[in-house]
Structure formats: C-alpha cells, structure tokens
Structure 1
C-alpha cells in the first residue's frame, strides 16, 4: 500500500505531510486560517470538503504538501513563524524536494506567510493567498464593531503572543507595512464572504506592491466555481517553476 500522508510531532505541535504518487519535486507549505488545526490523525483541510479537493488536485499534479498545527489561533506570532521554519527544514531533510517552496495561505495564515517571505526570501518561490489577513492591528480595529468577536480576538492574541491584553494596542503586531520582500504573490479574494475586509488587506497590499515596483495580481470571485480557483492556483505555481 502506498503511504500518501504521514503525521508527526515537532515539540508540542502535530504536522502532516501529504505525499503524491508521482512527485514533481516541488513542495507547498499550507498555513491555514483561525479555524485550522492538525492533530495526530486529521486536519481541518482533511475535513473541509473544498480544502480537501484542493489538496487532492495539488497532489494529482505531483506536489508534496506540508501543514502544521502552528499553535492553533496563532495570529502570526513569533513562535508560529519559528515552527513553520522548523517544519520547512525537517521536510527538506526527509523529502527529495526543490529547496524553494510554494506557500498556500488562508485568512490569518497570511500574517505568518508575510514574515516567512521576509525571513527566508531565498527559500520561497511563490505565495498563493486566499482571503488573507495582512495587517493584524487593522483587523483588531475593525473587530471593535463586534463586541463578542473583539473580546475573543483580544484573548487569542494575548495567548498567542504571551502578553497581557492591555499591552496589545502598543505591541508590535505583524503587518504588510513592515514587509519589503517581493516574491510572486497572487490573492484570490472571495467577495461575498469577507472576514478580513479586502479594502484593509488584499487591496492595500496590492497597492503597496505596485508602489514598490513588484506588482501582484488580485483576483476577485464569488466562490461559485472552486474547481476553477484550484486550477488557477496550480497555474500560478507552475508559472513560477520555470527557474529551478
């Protein structure tokens, strides 16, 4: 029987690697949104029909995918970034893959991805983002309009960053404004389901990259054709594999 996935722990965190039948030599790091998890036998991306379809389509193309629990609702915390780097190095030791990987993010995973782009630019080939959060203070400000969600978010950030809630407003939280890296990025922004306002996140990042002279593409959609989105992500990755 062919092993198509392997679950393993790094320190306290569970991780999974998805192994294709015919590897193409390229790896993809998945960084999920706040509901994301990986445990000893499953993950959010296994259980969510749409995300599982995306995993299957990427594996059919030969991609090796790896994915960590990253301390749950991490909001781009330093320890989540460190764990993502550890996972990268472990996968590179164990699998035969090109050292420059693709990244696939959803929601708050964008915060960790931005920091990885900055910290290891020579290891990241391209980044595909779905409905990203790219400025944590801006998201916090927006959530003030919803008291319950605001309190929950404050509590989650306090736990993730290991700081008191009263210190959050002055804390250095991840933001696209601190990022200078210019790796290829493409954003798929769903118009009718926006936890993170496109105006504050996707659109602002598109403007920033345009100003810096390394423009990106922002694609708006209604989520009515997941297959087309998945194929569009695959096409984007392939465009960035011409130089090994």
Structure 2
C-alpha cells in the first residue's frame, strides 16, 4: 500500500492508495483524538485504525483524510477545507466522483455540514460512534468538570467570538433533520462499551426510525468492543452495496 502526505491549506493530509484500485474513494473525518502530521497520523499509529485502513485499501479503496485544524467541532473552517480536499483528490487520482464518507465521533458534525455542498457527489455515509448534537454532548460533559472545561475551551477556539452562543443557538436539531431527510444511504455503527457520546442515542434512534418510515436507505449496528475487528468488513460490504450504479 502506497501512502502520500501533503500540505493543503496548511493542514497535513494523507492518502492511502490501494494496490488494486476499485475506482472508489473513502474520505475519513476523524474524532477528537484524530491527528495528521507529515510523517505519521492517528490512523497509522493506532493498531485498530491501521488495520481498518489496510482492510479498506485491500478491498480496493483509496482512503484519504486531513488534520482538519484539530478539534474543530464542526466549525466552518473544517467544512471548507474538507470541501476543497474533495476537489483536490478528484484532480489527483482517477476516481468515480461519488465518494463514501466515514465520520467518527466529532467528525460527524463536519460531515453533516458538508452534505449541502457534496450531496450529489456522495455515495454513502458511515457514522462510527457519532456526535451529531454538540449541545447534547456539552450537557453530557457538565458532570465531568475537567472535560467540561476542556470542551468549552475547544469550542471557543473553534468558533472564535461566536463561541458557545453560536453552538447553543444554531446547533441543536439541524443535524438530526439533515441526516433523517437526506437521500444518501446511511450506516450507523456504535461500539456500546467504548462510546464517548452517550447522549446521542435518542437522536440516532429517531433518525433511524424516520428513515425507515420514509423508505430511505439506513442500517444501524451496535457492537461490543471485543467485536470491533469486524467493523471494516461491515463497512466495506455497505459501501459495495451502493457502487452498483455508477
């Protein structure tokens, strides 16, 4: 597997190239611990994530991701960079223009805001232990003072002068509505005993039920951490299901 690192808008990005390309790409938008540097990244240092990359590239996928300004919490800068990176990758590689997105945790916030810009160019979305309501996550962390203060500081950094007021006023139900109504196939995966976003369950259940009622493509799986090694296989099968129509 060949790997390439490069700077885009002053943020390090990685591309993992498959030996036998299938013509499709997966854009990973990571969680809080996600990082990308010139020589390394979370996805090459963490054994489970590295195995996930290998499984996906062995299935023929080109996989790419960016540092996205660190803990961005879905701010406008992360969305703009993600949008630009999509177009850059399309120029750099011979790929079908419709991509898959894999968003983990906090990354779901950026993925959701990216939808209006790339909806016609998305093949499917997989959410792994997603945070889709930042307000609910803030409420959750109030009982853990150290983490609560850290979270507030990160949000203030990500959103600048708007800070908490912006999050509270504009970030509550919109994400749920977008995910419930979009035509892009959705797969929700949750590792129930290793989930940092415990207050998201109600939102995700409503999204699942609404999509089922309206006959929109949706899947949801709950797994134990000990069964995590099966996740890449489940994702690859889901991605493949929506590659039959180019």
TM-score, normalised via structure 1 length: 0.93
**What does residue 131 of structure 1 align with?**
129
1:63 maps to 61
Is the Cα–Cα contact under 8 Å of residues 100 and 239 in structure 2 kept in the other structure?
yes
Alignment of 1:1-244 (within 5 A): 4-163=2-161, 165=163, 167-168=165-166, 170-173=168-171, 175-179=174-178, 180-197=181-198, 198-210=200-212, 212-244=214-246
1:65-117 Cα deviation digits (max 9, x unpaired): 11000000011111101100111000000100000000111111111111222
| Mapped contact 1:189–1:202 kept (Cα < 8 A) | no
Check the 8 A contact 1:118/1:181 in 2, yes or no. no
Q: Is the 8 A contact 2:15 2:65 kept in 1?
A: yes
Q: Which consecutive unaligned segments of at least 5 residues does structure 1 have?
A: none
CA–CA distance in 2 between the matches of 1:223 and 1:34?
18
In structure 2, what is the Cα distance between the partners aligned to 1:119 and 1:173?
18
Q: Give distance in 1, aligned partners of 2:217 and 2:239.
A: 16
Q: Using structure 2 for the length normalisation, give the TM-score.
A: 0.92
SS at 1:163 equivalent: coil
- Please, what is the CA RMSD of the aligned residues? 1.8
| Deviation per residue, 1:182-239 (Å, 9 max, x gap) | 2101011111122112424432432343455425211001021233221111100000
Q: Distance in 2 between matches of 1:121 and 1:166?
A: 28
Query: In 2, distance between residues paired with 1:30 and 1:166?
Result: 27
Structure 2 residue runs of 5 or longer lacking an equivalent are none
Aligned residues: 242
- Hey, which of these two has a bigger chunk of helix by percent? 2
Cα offsets for 1:89-146 (capped at 9, x unmatched): 0000010000000011111111111122232111110011110001111111111121
Contact 2:22–2:60 (8 Å) recurs in 1 = yes
Indicate if the aligned counterparts of 2:105 and 2:128 stay in contact, CA closer than 8 A.
yes
Structure 2 vs 1, CA of residues 204 and 157 (structure 1 numbering), >3 Å: closer, same or farther?
A: farther
Rounded to whole Å, the distance in 2 between the matches of 1:235 and 1:177 is: 25
**Distance in 2 separating the partners of 1:21 and 1:169:** 43
CA shift for structure 1 position 16: 0.6
Secondary structure of 1:224's counterpart equals helix
2:213 & 2:168 partners in 1: Cα distance?
A: 27
Q: Distance in 1 between matches of 2:39 and 2:207?
A: 36
Distance 1:182 1:234, change over 3 A: same
**Of 165-174 and 32-41, the range deviating more from structure 2:** 165-174
